[in-house]
């Protein structure tokens, strides 16, 4: 069974080109499933039937796993079994027609426009690292890109004069995202007065740390925490919450959902539709406060 798992992970790496974090999730989920089969003395994957998979899913729920985690495990199993059937390693797929557990829809946390403005005003403009931080925050809010996309930007992906960046999202899918004049101005300032003082060697990374190497996601998380604390914002502030705020503020100000979907890099529009709940709630609040007969 371990051999089959290794072949599946090789397929995901080489043929589908999945990101390392995604591969880690698959490996973790499927290793747990194989351990479950071993414990039940099931020696080959072809012996596991629909009832076996359902028992595994039920065991995850009994162990207190969230609906989202259980759904992810089931998705991993579906992909695994689909691969095994396609490669003639087993005959039947026991995950066929199995339903994922219902997940309560969580509205993303967002910052108000005033809170975002306060956060973006925290970095100074004197030190090279301050210029870098200001440029990163302005670009993050201007484009709504993921933190992994932000820190992986190279010099040739940032087209300041033309007002856009090229980034690579999940599955290495490339997309073009526009940015505003304020973000462009901060990027120019960083390049003119900051980056060359931080860089130590020939490095294509757009944003670099104090050692001249590419800034990491963990590094940017720490920077975000520092400025949120400095701004006195009591809400939890993360790079992803800035992304949520970007999407919500666009929709609140009249952007169409398809455009926001394209900018966020969502493959499925249902992922983007979560933000429309927030804008509907705000509209209802405005109506209740302003209509004479609300």
Residues with catalytic function: 146, 170, 240, 243, 266, 275
> Strand 174-178 vs strand 158-159: parallel, antiparallel, or unpaired?
unpaired
SS3 141: helix
> What are the tokens at 2?
């371990």
Distance CA 190, CA 188 (A): 5
Measured CA to CA, the distance from residue 141 to residue 170 in angstroms comes to 19
- Single out the residue of 61, 67, 34, 60 nearest to residue 48, CA to CA: 34
Token output for 42: 């099931």
User: Going along the chain, which residue ranges are E strands?
Assistant: 158-159, 164-168, 174-178
Distance (Å, rounded) from C-alpha 101 to C-alpha 198?
49
d(CA 108, CA 286): 20
């Amino acid at each position: 069974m371990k051999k089959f798992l290794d072949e599946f992970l090789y397929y995901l790496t080489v043929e589908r080109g999945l990101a390392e974090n995604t591969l880690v999730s698959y490996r973790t989920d499927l290793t747990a499933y194989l351990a479950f089969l071993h414990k039940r003395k099931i020696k080959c994957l072809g012996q596991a039937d629909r009832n076996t998979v359902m028992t595994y899913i039920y065991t995850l729920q009994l162990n207190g796993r969230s609906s989202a985690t259980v759904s992810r495990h089931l998705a991993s199993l579906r992909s695994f079994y689909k691969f095994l059937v396609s490669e003639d390693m087993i005959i039947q797929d026991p995950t066929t027609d199995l339903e994922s557990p219902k997940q309560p829809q969580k509205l993303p946390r967002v910052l108000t426009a005033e809170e975002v403005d306060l956060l973006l005003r925290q970095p100074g403009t004197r030190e090279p690292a301050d210029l870098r931080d200001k440029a990163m925050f302005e670009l993050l809010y201007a484009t709504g890109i993921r933190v992994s996309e932000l820190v992986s930007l190279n010099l040739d992906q940032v087209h300041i004069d033309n007002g856009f960046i090229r980034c690579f999202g999940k599955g290495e899918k490339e997309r073009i995202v526009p940015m505003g004049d304020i973000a462009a101005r901060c990027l120019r300032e960083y390049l003119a007065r900051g980056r060359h003082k931080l860089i130590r060697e020939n490095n294509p990374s757009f944003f670099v740390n104090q050692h001249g190497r590419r800034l990491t996601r963990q590094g940017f998380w720490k920077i975000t925490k520092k400025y949120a604390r400095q701004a006195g914002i009591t809400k939890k502030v993360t790079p992803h919450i800035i992304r949520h705020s970007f999407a919500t503020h666009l929709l609140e100000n009249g952007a169409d959902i398809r455009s926001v979907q394209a900018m966020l890099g969502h493959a499925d529009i249902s992922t983007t539709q979560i933000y429309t709940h927030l804008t509907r709630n705000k509209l209802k609040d405005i109506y209740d406060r302003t209509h004479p007969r609300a």
